[in-house]
């Protein structure tokens, strides 16, 4: 049975064609207030204040309003609990000149928000401000501490069941791409009424933090709290130390790491984009794995020691039966970047141990119920407990996953690349063949289920189907060889395009024995099941190309995605009117010709061109293959694919294709397989 789809999703996909009787209402976010600071401390270094119930909702701790006991408050390292009057105090010895002071929202309470639905739960203290002027502003000097920092809350619903939207990497590099975010992620979430909060897993921006206010304002249309994670494109790149690198983020949004609780789920956000990184660890020990940190400034995936200390202190006060959902930008490990040290988490083992897991004979035992969420790779990756890939052993992760990790794809897909769809939004298929989109995580107590929502597509669309045939492989090889050719004689025009591929669903009988049906289950995992029915035959199980049992990355061609990635018309679009891109006070090219991707690179060509090969879907960990039956007769055929995910959700997809005996050539571009040859030229006089 296929899962029933919420009507809110139908409205989001086809709002212009659906009449509804009343407005779609989202979670109320009308509690507008800020953290209260009182007076300036006269040189004292004791952080203190109250967490209180803001009965009159004015954000001020007024007479008669009760304090809230047993609430966690942190200074970014230590964690204290409020007493029965709602008071908290940090000893003087815990004072630091640079720290975030924040409350960890308890269950059954709601935080105030600002005009963009950004939660207000922290105070940033940086006594002397950023160490130097930063392009995007950084932090101004805050001077001495306030005498009190008071955190207002209001009573909310004690929810056992709720849903959050999780988005990886919107990553807009320009105001044009902010518009793409508005018309995809923001629009779809604004049309839903089932989202409690939005978590953006880093690379919220594409290097230009000046765009963040407009992003937040567009996302506020979803009428849900916006929680952000710091990514490697959300930094102050002119900062000289990691302590200053997220200062603009902290000023515009809030703390770079924090926690909050809804129901029996404790959400933890960490900042693991260390920038600029060093080839030594915090103790000064060198390691060849970090040599990429030498030379020009770059980042590395490493949770700093202070955050690990804070996490230990935070979890002391969280009940053991709560689900811990950890968000950070760079995944602990990934399939696509399994051999890349900078794209994995140096302190993964430490993190697992803080969560209570013990490594025994190469396997993890014990531990809290946990789920990790991340972004960064622009891929959908469901990594299940016990899964292991070859590259992890070189990335300080020579052990399997102890608990599930979801790399949540990218709202931008492959950096807003590719040709436009009918909504003038780049198709931007991701590197493992999934379309751009976001996840919806639904919680019930300390249990969760997840679904991927492809941008602009119905919720039921979860699969793409295509044929890996001899004709397709010849086409792909021609383009791949041309792309790899570095000789001076190389033609600037590709040897073939999407036009030359012709009808990929028209197969000759002689091709059947060498053709596989390729099934890309966009949110598939090792624990997914996939069945295939050709015509009226019994359903048979398809085989996942990657087992996750320690092997490396295998070639897995996905014709559905590759056809879009290897023939991109937008490369060739040019105009006489230029639009110069001058981020960082440099001329970085004409962003109106071709299109602009990461690091403000403009992609142009005199003819249509190919996306860079590292963005091709020639490998994937959520693709299944099955041989096409060799005995199919000439005519039209139907294939139906069904999949069940780890949560029991069922989805299906179908496709019609043809088998035709050709009259001579099997090239569908020069042969009509069913009719005699005829003169296609019409008489001049009609």
Average pLDDT over residues 509-530: 96
**Predicted local distance difference test score (pLDDT) of residue 18:** 35
Tens of pLDDT, residues 70-116: 999 999 999 999 999 999 999 999 999 999 999 999 999 999 999 99
Q: What is the pLDDT of residue 29?
A: 83
More confident: 27 or 102: 102
Least confident of 274-283, 317-326, 606-615: 606-615
Say yes or no: 215 and 352 in one domain: yes
Mean pLDDT value of segment 237-259: 97
Residues 236 and 362 in one domain: yes
Average pLDDT over residues 514-525: 97
Q: Which of 132, 154, 176 is the last residue of a domain?
A: 154
Long-range contacts of range 87-94, CB-CB < 8 Å, 24 or more positions apart?
87/48, 87/49, 87/50, 88/48, 88/49, 88/50, 88/51, 89/46, 89/47, 89/48, 90/46, 90/47, 90/48, 91/46, 92/44, 92/45, 92/46, 94/47
Distance CA 470, CA 476 (A): 10
236: CATH: 3.60.21.10
Give ∠ CA 589-593-595 in degrees, rounded to 5. 85
Q: Please tell me whether residues 258 and 121 are part of one structural domain.
A: no
Q: Give how many domains the chain has, as a whole number.
A: 3
236 has a pLDDT exceeding 80: yes
Residues in Cβ contact with 536 at an 8 Å cutoff, skipping those fewer than 6 apart: none
Summarised one tens digit per residue, pLDDT across range 4-20 is 333 333 323 333 333 33
Report if residue 478 sits inside a domain: yes
Phi, psi dihedral angles at 17 (to 5 degrees): -110, 0
Is residue 571 assigned to a domain? no
Taken in order 340, 367, 402, 231, the sign of the CA dihedral is: negative
Confidence of residue 573 (pLDDT cuts 50, 70, 90): confident
Q: Classify residue 211 by its DSSP letter.
A: G
Mean pLDDT value of segment 333-355: 94
The confidence band for 335, taking pLDDT boundaries of 50, 70 and 90, is very high
In a domain, 634, yes or no: yes
pLDDT of residue 287: 82
pLDDT band at 571 (very low <50, low <70, confident <90, very high): confident
Is the residue at 87 inside a domain? yes
Determine the pLDDT at residue 286: 82
Q: What is the pLDDT of residue 17?
A: 36
Same domain, 221 and 278: yes
Please tell me whether residues 119 and 203 are part of one structural domain.
Answer: no
Q: Judge if 145 and 230 occupy the same domain.
A: no
In a domain, 425, yes or no: yes
Range of the domain at 655: 465-486+500-548+618-686
What's the CATH code of the domain at 89? 2.60.40.10
Q: Compute how many other C-beta atoms are within 10 angstroms of the C-beta atom of residue 300.
A: 25
- Tell me how far CA of residue 263 lies from CA of 97, 203, 318, 632, in angstroms: 34, 28, 12, 54
The three state secondary structure string of 481-545 is HHHHCCCCCCCCCCCCCHHHHCCCCEECHHHHHHCEEEEEECCCECCCEEEEEECCCCCEECEEC
């Amino acid at each position: 049975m296929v899962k029933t789809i919420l009507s809110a999703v139908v409205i989001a996909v086809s709002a212009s064609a659906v009449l509804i009787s009343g407005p779609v209402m989202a979670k109320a976010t009308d509690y507008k207030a800020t953290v209260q600071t009182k007076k300036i401390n006269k040189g004292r270094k004791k952080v203190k204040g109250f967490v209180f119930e803001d009965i009159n909702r004015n954000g001020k701790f007024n007479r008669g309003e009760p304090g809230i006991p047993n609430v966690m408050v942190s200074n970014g390292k230590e964690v204290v609990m409020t007493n029965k009057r709602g008071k908290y105090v940090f000893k003087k010895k815990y004072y630091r000149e640079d720290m975030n002071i924040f409350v960890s929202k308890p269950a059954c309470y709601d935080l105030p928000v600002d005009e963009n639905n950004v939660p207000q739960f922290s105070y940033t203290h940086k006594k002397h401000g950023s160490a130097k002027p930063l392009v995007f502003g950084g932090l101004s000097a805050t001077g001495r501490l306030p005498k009190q920092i008071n955190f207002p809350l209001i009573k909310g619903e004690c929810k056992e069941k709720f849903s959050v939207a999780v988005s990886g990497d919107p990553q807009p590099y320009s105001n044009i791409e902010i518009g793409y975010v508005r018309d995809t992620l923001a629009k779809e979430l604004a049309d839903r009424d089932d989202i409690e909060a939005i978590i953006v897993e880093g690379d919220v921006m594409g290097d230009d933090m000046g765009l963040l206010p407009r992003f937040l304002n567009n996302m506020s249309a979803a009428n849900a709290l916006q929680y952000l994670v710091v990514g490697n494109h959300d930094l102050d790149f002119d900062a000289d130390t990691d302590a200053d690198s997220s200062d603009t983020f902290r000023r515009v949004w809030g703390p770079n790491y924090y926690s909050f609780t809804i129901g029996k789920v404790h959400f933890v956000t960490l900042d693991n984009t260390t920038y600029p990184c060093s080839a030594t660890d915090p103790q000064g020990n060198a390691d060849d794995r970090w040599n990429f940190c030498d030379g020009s400034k770059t980042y590395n995936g490493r949770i700093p020691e202070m955050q690990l200390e804070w996490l230990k202190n935070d979890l002391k006060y969280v009940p053991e039966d709560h689900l811990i959902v950890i968000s950070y930008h760079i995944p602990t490990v990934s399939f696509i970047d399994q051999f890349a040290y900078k794209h994995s988490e140096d302190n993964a083992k430490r993190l697992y141990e803080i969560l209570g897991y013990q490594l025994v004979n190469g396997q993890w035992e014990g531990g809290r119920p946990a789920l990790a969420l991340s972004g960064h790779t622009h891929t959908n990756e469901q990594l299940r407990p016990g899964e292991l890939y070859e590259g992890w052993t070189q990335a300080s992760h020579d052990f399997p996953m102890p608990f599930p990790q979801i790399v949540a794809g990218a709202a931008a897909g492959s950096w807003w690349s590719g040709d436009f769809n009918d909504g003038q939004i780049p198709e931007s298929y991701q590197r493992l063949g999934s379309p751009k989109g976001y996840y919806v995580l639904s919680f019930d107590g300390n249990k969760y289920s997840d679904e991927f929502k492809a941008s602009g597509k119905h919720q039921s669309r979860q699969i793409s189907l295509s044929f890996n045939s001899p004709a397709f492989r010849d086409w792909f090889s021609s383009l791949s060889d041309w792309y790899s050719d570095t000789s001076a004689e190389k033609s600037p025009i590709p040897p073939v395009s999407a036009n030359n591929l012709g009808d990929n669903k028209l197969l000759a009988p002689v091709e059947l024995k060498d053709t596989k049906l390729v099934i890309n289950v966009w949110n598939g995992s090792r624990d997914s099941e996939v069945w295939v029915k050709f015509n009226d035959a019994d359903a048979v199980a398809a085989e996942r190309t990657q087992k996750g049992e320690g092997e490396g990355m295998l070639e897995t061609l996905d014709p559905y995605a590759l056809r879009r990635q290897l023939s991109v018309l937008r490369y060739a679009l040019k105009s006489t009117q230029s639009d110069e891109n001058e981020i960082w006070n440099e001329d970085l090219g004409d962003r109106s010709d071709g299109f602009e991707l990461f690091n403000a690179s403009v992609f142009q060509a005199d003819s249509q061109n190919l996306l860079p090969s590292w963005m091709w879907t020639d490998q994937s960990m959520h693709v299944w293959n099955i041989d096409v039956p060799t005995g199919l007769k000439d005519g039209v055929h139907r294939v139906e694919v069904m999949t069940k995910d780890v949560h029991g959700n069922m989805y299906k997809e179908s496709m019609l294709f043809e088998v035709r005996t050709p009259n001579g050539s099997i090239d569908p571009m020069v042969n009509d397989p069913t009719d005699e040859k005829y003169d296609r030229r019409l008489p001049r006089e009609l």
